[in-house]
A and B are shown apart, each in its own frame.
Chain A
Amino acid sequence: KTETGDEEEKYKDLKGNKKKKSEDLKKELDLVSVAKLLFHLGLSSSRAAEILARDGPNSLTPPKATPEIVKFLKQMVGGFSILLWIGAVFSWISFGIQFAQGAESPFDNLYLGVVLALVVILTGIFAYYQEAKSTNIMASFSKMIPQQALVIRDAEKKELPAEQLVVGDIVEIKGGDRIPADIRLISAQGCKVDNSSLTGESEPQSRSCDFTHENPLETKNIAFYSTTCVEGTATGIVINTGDRTVIGRIASLASGVGNEKTPIAIEIEHFVYLVAGVAISIGVLFFIISVSMRYKILDSIIFLIGIIVANVPEGLLATVTVSLSLTAKRMAKKNCLVKNLEAVETLGSTSIICSDKTGTLTQNRMTVAHLWFDNQIYSADTSEDQTTQPFDQSSPSWTALSKIVTLCNRAEFRPGQENLPIMKRVVVGDASETALLKFAEVILGDVMSIRAQNKKVAEIPFNSTNKFQLSIHETDDPNDKRFLLVMKGAPERILERCSTIMINGKEEPLDSEKAEAFQTAYMELGGMGERVLGFCHLYLPENEFPDTYPFDTDSMNFPTSNLCFVGLLSMIDPPRSTVPDAVSKCRSAGIKVIMVTGDHPITAKAIAKSVGIISATSETVEDIAKRLNIPVEQVNRREATAAVVNGMELKDMSLQQLDDILCNHSEIVFARTSPQQKLIIVEGCQRQGAVVAVTGDGVNDSPALKKADIGIAMGIAGSDAAKNAADMVLLDDNFASIVTGVEEGRLIFDNLKKTIAYTLTKNIAELCPFLIYIIASIPMPIGTITILFIDLGTDIIPSVALAYEKAESDIMNRRPRNKKKDRLVNEQLAVYSYLQIGIIQSVGAFVTYFTVYAEQGFLPSTLLGVRVDWENNAINDFEDSYGQEWTKYQRMYLQWTGYTAFFVSITIQQVADLIIRKTRRNSIFQQGLFRNKVIWVGIFSQIGIALILSYVLMAYWFVAVPFAILIWVYDEVRKLFIRRYPGSKKKLEELREGKTENVFWPRACLFPNLQSYMLEVTLLLVSPPFKPLSP
């Protein structure tokens, strides 16, 4: 709870900052009046250099990165490394003791220590390298083309890199520019800025020189760093640069939001605790046993090292890293660039996605969606790559409407794009006009030539007071000398000016019935969240308006009423065509998609409905109220599955109310939210125990991106700050890419389970030799270094190969994993690996061991209890079962042959283990042995490496083969039972529900970590076998 408290404080801090800032601003505004006089002079270069030296460059300082050396050292001591270091130190200590005592071969222990240290260092370097590689991808990504700014310096206009701007500089901006710093405007012509990266509102806002509000964020005369100027031109004076800009302050706030541990990091930590717990407890147990069996302390320490080495899967963490980076690569191909390797899996466990609307769910461009003429609504194609429009175009009304759409439009294509598809061409003009232009171009062909044929003689551009746009044209019909007046604008305003309406090409009087029809259509289109425009025209009588008539737009010496209404066109930023499918995939995958947008609730709801975030059958409280015709308050809130929450409502909500909404509605849309509220929503979702993915592009989103379990920044629209704060970058800004990412994330979680199960199994076969060696005093069956050969030699490639395994069933049809219950390593997995397959492996390996010794002269009965004499340097005529006598070295050589045979038989059985781990439920015959070719690479490499590493009679390779087959058959039978009786698992689960969670080992209250894994270890040692590894 203290954590959230901290964040709240930070939150207040942000607001406090703003207040302070407004005071700063006021002071600076006084300067503006002076500067205005001097603005044509600008700063002198020398003064600018002085200020630059004082304030530093105009760029955001990137968040403080952890020093590389710290990252590196972290890799060296994390995970199992500590255990291995302990092993190494013990080895060196025993070397020291033996060396001091002058024993015969003390260097073995020195080497062992060195090898252990090398293992740690190499795996550390490897993990560090992998991390660094993925970070580098991001680093290159964030390097953007240096931005230029037009500055007046020394009374001259100069292009300068935006970094060199200083406070007091006079800059000029025009449509399309990014604002290079926080600017107080001193002159503006039709200037509009897109503040979406700051406030999340995608509607362009006009800017002027007037001071309109106390709050710098609201006032119209300030343009902010990193926002863009959409149209118009302006000149302004720089009032803040770099980190002191509004955006800079928000960005620095983001770095204050703590980074949560990723789910996979938690899982791996849990796994490390578990295995370390087993290692330490068995190690200590056998240390005590060996001491009480009167072994020398030094020997006991060496046993302890052996047990630790046998228990720690040295290669596993490297394998996990490789698997994750393989998936990261695969995801990068699918346009998900992963910044932090662990985020790969986080995406798979995501249970809530808070998605932006604009650009992520939608195409981020206005497109004509519906038309209304001849009393009928037609829908247009809104897909990304439209080439034709399918609606009925035979009506003469359409001809008239299309003419207005074409002519009453100021937007133009940039020249030189004739070869590009229409939808991809760049247009000069605002969003609606662009939509209309493209729409007309698709249907009518060359719009520019049509406009040329219908020469424009007069024009009144759109302005917010009359809310219409008007132009007068000559007609393309040479026989028709009339002028055509075309007009478009807000539908109700257009209708006011009309007296007739065109139906099937004929002008009919506009009576109340027709007006009613218009009203219905308008409401319907508006209700779909679309921006509706009305179109009307009038042919000016030839006699009144001859060829030479001087049209004057100021005095309006032409009729602007009693026009003929032609039709309505409605536009929307349509959803991306892949999104509805992706949303339904999320739904079946049990992922809740919440839309968080700055847009209007109606638009938001319409898009949510069209992409399936709000399904067709569900209703909001308001919908129910409307349907039942009762006040909203009387509706039973439980009945509504969907909810559209307005940012204003959210502001007044208590945390509890928000939780209530998040809990009780499965389909939620947050509209008119500020990016700050996004953070609140994310925190709310996290309070529900969900793993939350958040998409964002604006700088203001970065706190939410940081707070989220996985922050997803937009590659195209995203700001650098957002990309910095995010864990992942969507290169194509497409929501559907997230879903493929989820799929990959889930697959890797499944496959990591397989890898871990595979790796854990042989631990027992590596551990048993030590235990039996201590208890039965047989010659050592396997050496510590040999174990490292398995862990870091033969087993590495196969365990990576499991990462290539295809999904067993549709992983997108199951719910996201429960963070608390569905662990990476659960007790079933560990118990099955350790106590069943591991035991079979050990038996197989021991049979090989005894075979080798028996065939060389030592029958099993001779071996028991032989250890002391066997290892005695003073006995060089040691008698075997056949009466032959062996020197110490000859015995050691035999012992090494034994190691090799043991090693070989573990390798052979690991092949079987690899094959059974391919699937967790399906038979190997269902999954197919050849679908994953990499597995075969794994098997062959395993055998190949074993062949290179070992020199042993070929016969010994085959001793363990029956046991390998046994492992496979046993596991097939187990899988058969799981498939046959799937219900038993569920029943067991139900029985266990809620019980294992709050369980504590009583004696270890002081060491919370210790107690948890001691508990886990207990559970592990006493758990049931006949449960599937949970799916």
Chain B
Amino acid sequence: MATLNEKKTCSERMENFRRFVWNPETKLFMGRTLINWVWISLYYLAFYVVMTGLFALSIYSLMRTVNPYEPDYQDQLKSPGVTLRPDVYGDRGLQIYYNTSENKTWERLVTTLQTFLTAYTPAAQHLNVNCTGDKYFIQDTFDGPNNTKLSCKFTSDMLQNCSGIADPTFGFPEGKPCFIIKMNRIIKFYPGNGTAPRVDCTYVGDESRPLEVDYYPVNGTFNLHYFPYYGKKAQPTYSNPLVAVKFLNITRNVELKIVCKIIGAGITFDNVHDPYEGKVEFKLKIEN
């Protein structure tokens, strides 16, 4: 600005500014007449109203075109993620540390499991049907109430020793804790290609080292009748099948790295970028 070169006192500048804000001679407010400002504001108002309208219209037509039952593309979700309960995350992933002699340290974990399993009480599952077949539960029609599809029942008692019914502490105080493995839902995903996928837990990096684990249900499988998933709108009461793992011979006072993979066709666990795709890794340390 040319004006910068001229040295002026502060008061002159203030005066100039005041004159800029309201110039009584020319009746200009900030360099324009008031009516000019009104027109400008009106123009911008109209412009932005129109743009907002256009945006709303675009979103509206987008909503009209998307399929309400399943997304148009699923290229981003090819293999399901796997999660663990209880889920305590440290700086680098899941870290489950507790001390058997300090109740406080494991009660938290137990509560997490209990809370998680409340969704699997018979009461919570009463809308779902009992399924027996070991095949995919394929439904091409809407057989459920209110134009929905049926979902299979999964109740916590299926987890037997890890159901929290017989042992509400899930074996934590004894140092034989139960963990629950959950596979993420993907619409119309058929895991295992006919054979039920199963959970397999090993030490990380040393798969030959024996890790004594009990799997519930037996073999740690996800029964095929829970698949495929038809989406929230078709199966509003669907709940993920679970597998519980109970570690039996955990060495005390050592941090162990354990990975639980889901073995089954169509489930990959070798994505180096995603530590939770097809597997779940966690650190376990039980202290005395």
Contacts and interface: CB of A to CB of B under 8 A. Distances in A.
B142 interface: no
A354 B51 CA distance: 53
A877 B233 CA distance: 18
B273 interface: yes
Contacts of A881: 71, 232
Contact of B63 (A104, A854, A995): A854
Contact of A859 (B47, B63, B81, B235): B63
A411 interface: no
B32 A883 contact: no
Given A893-B76, A1002-B13, A1024-B43, A882 B71 contact: yes
Contacts of B14: 1000, 1002
Interface in B4-55: 4, 8, 10, 13-14, 16-20, 23, 26, 28, 30-33, 36, 39-40, 43-44, 47-48, 51, 54-55
Contacts of A1002: 10, 13-14, 17-18
A883 B30 contact: no
A953 B72 CA distance: 12
B62 A270 contact: no
Interface string A937-976: 0000000000000000100000000000010000000000
B92 interface: yes
B161 interface: no
Q: Indicate the member of B17, B39, B91, B182 with the most A CB atoms within 10 Å.
A: B17
A1025 B40 contact: yes
Q: 9 shortest A-B CB distances, which residue pairs?
A: A883-B232, A887-B81, A885-B184, A889-B274, A874-B89, A999-B20, A1000-B13, A857-B71, A855-B72
B2 A1008 contact: no
Contacts of B287: none
B92 A104 contact: yes
A623 B87 CA distance: 102
Interface in A860-886: 860, 873-874, 876-877, 879-886
A888 B276 contact: yes
A998 B89 contact: no
19 contacts: A854-B62, A856-B73, A856-B74, A859-B66, A874-B87, A876-B82, A876-B276, A882-B69, A883-B232, A884-B71, A885-B186, A889-B273, A992-B32, A995-B31, A998-B20, A1000-B20, A1002-B14, A1012-B4, A1025-B40
A225 interface: no
Contacts of A885: 80-81, 184-186
Given A885-B81, A886-B184, A998-B3, A847 B13 contact: no
A1008 B10 CA distance: 11
Nearest to A835: B44
B123 interface: no
Contacts of A897: 76
A1008 B4 contact: yes
B96 to A, nearest CB: 13
A587 B39 CA distance: 40
Contact of B274 (A880, A883, A890, A996): A890
Contacts of A857: 71, 74, 77
Interface size classification for chain A: 35 or more
A847 B73 contact: no
Interface residues of B, number: 70
Contacts of A995: 20, 23, 26, 28, 31
Contacts of A889: 271, 273-277
A549 interface: no
B221 interface: no
Interface in B175-233: 182, 184-187, 229, 231-233
B155 interface: no
Nearest to A966: B54
A842 to B, nearest CB: 9
A767 to B, nearest CB: 16
A810 interface: no
A843 B58 CA distance: 10
B54 A843 contact: yes
B55 A843 contact: yes
A716 interface: no
B59 A850 contact: yes
Contacts, number: 182
Given A836-B47, A847-B55, A885-B185, A991 B28 contact: yes
B1 interface: yes
B interface: dominant SS: mixed
B156 interface: no
A655 interface: no
Given A103-B91, A839-B48, A839-B51, A883 B238 contact: yes
B17 A1000 contact: yes
Given A876-B276, A885-B81, A1012-B4, 5 more contacts: A102-B91, A843-B58, A857-B77, A886-B184, A1025-B43
A704 to B, nearest CB: 22
Contacts of A293: none
Contacts of B76: 856, 890, 893-894, 897
A1009 interface: yes
B255 interface: no
A1024 B40 CA distance: 5
Contacts of A856: 71-76
Contacts of A102: 91-92
Given A999-B20, A1012-B3, A883 B26 contact: no
B157 interface: no
Contacts of A886: 77, 81, 184
A876 B3 contact: no
Nearest to A821: B2
B34 to A, nearest CB: 12
B187 A1019 contact: no
A882 B20 contact: no
B83 interface: yes
B122 to A, nearest CB: 22
A819 interface: yes
A580 to B, nearest CB: 35
Nearest to A996: B31
Given A835-B44, A886-B81, A1005 B32 contact: no
A996 B185 CA distance: 63
A1011 B4 CA distance: 10
Interface string A758-772: 000000000000000
Contacts of B54: 843, 966
Nearest to B18: A1002
Nearest to B43: A1025
A287 interface: no
A999 B186 contact: no
Contacts of B23: 995
A100 to B, nearest CB: 11
Nearest to A3: B5
A648 B85 CA distance: 101
Contacts of B238: 883
Q: Indicate the member of B26, B69, B81, B87 with the most A CB atoms within 10 Å.
A: B81
B13 A1005 contact: yes
A851 B59 CA distance: 8
Nearest to B4: A1008
Contacts of A850: 59, 62
Contacts of B73: 855-856, 953
Contacts of A1012: 1, 3-4
A758 to B, nearest CB: 20
B239 to A, nearest CB: 11
Nearest to B36: A1024
A897 B20 CA distance: 48
A391 interface: no
Contact of B31 (A992, A1008, A1011): A992
Interface in A986-1012: 991-992, 995-1002, 1005, 1008-1009, 1011-1012
Contacts of A890: 76-77, 81, 274, 277
A5 to B, nearest CB: 14
A962 to B, nearest CB: 8
A1026 interface: yes
